[in-house]
Amino acid sequence: MIREKSCGAVIFYRDDKILYLVEQMKQGHYALCKGHVEGNETEKQTAAREIREETGLEVTFVTDFRETTEYSPYSGCIKEVVYFLAEAKGKANRVQPEEVSALLWLDYNQAMRFLTYESDKKILAHARKYIR
């Protein structure tokens, strides 16, 4: 059995309300920002790098929020994804064109409608509760 690991974050921005970042991926689905661990990176180093690469954002991680999910992206593989909660210092408008088609800043209800996978919706719901 092959094991893979990715790390990312629920990214939010405080404006007159809280907005969450949802990525429209090149494959057509909508997801939270994440990517594969490289070398000896820590989980948060991976998440921060992926956020910078995919969005150009600098973020501040919120203390002890850490959620995980597992799924099988293909036969014979189990993938663990670790999500943190990160506050953006500004709004991104730059995408990594190889992987991301668009960045959407959405309120909670809009984000829940756009996210493709139930696991992402569950992580977002936990993050929202944590912020409140």
Query: Mind listing the pLDDT tens digit for each residue in 76-123?
Result: 999 999 999 999 988 866 788 888 999 999 999 999 999 999 999 999
The SS3 assignment for 72 reads coil
What pTM does this model have? 0.94
Please state which CATH class domain 2-131 belongs to.
Answer: alpha beta
At 51, the pLDDT band (50, 70, 90 cuts) reads very high
Residue 98: predicted pLDDT: 87
Residue 96: predicted pLDDT: 86
Nearest CA to 79 among 1, 23, 14, 4?
A: 4
Q: Whole-angstrom Cα distance, residue 132 to residue 115? A: 21
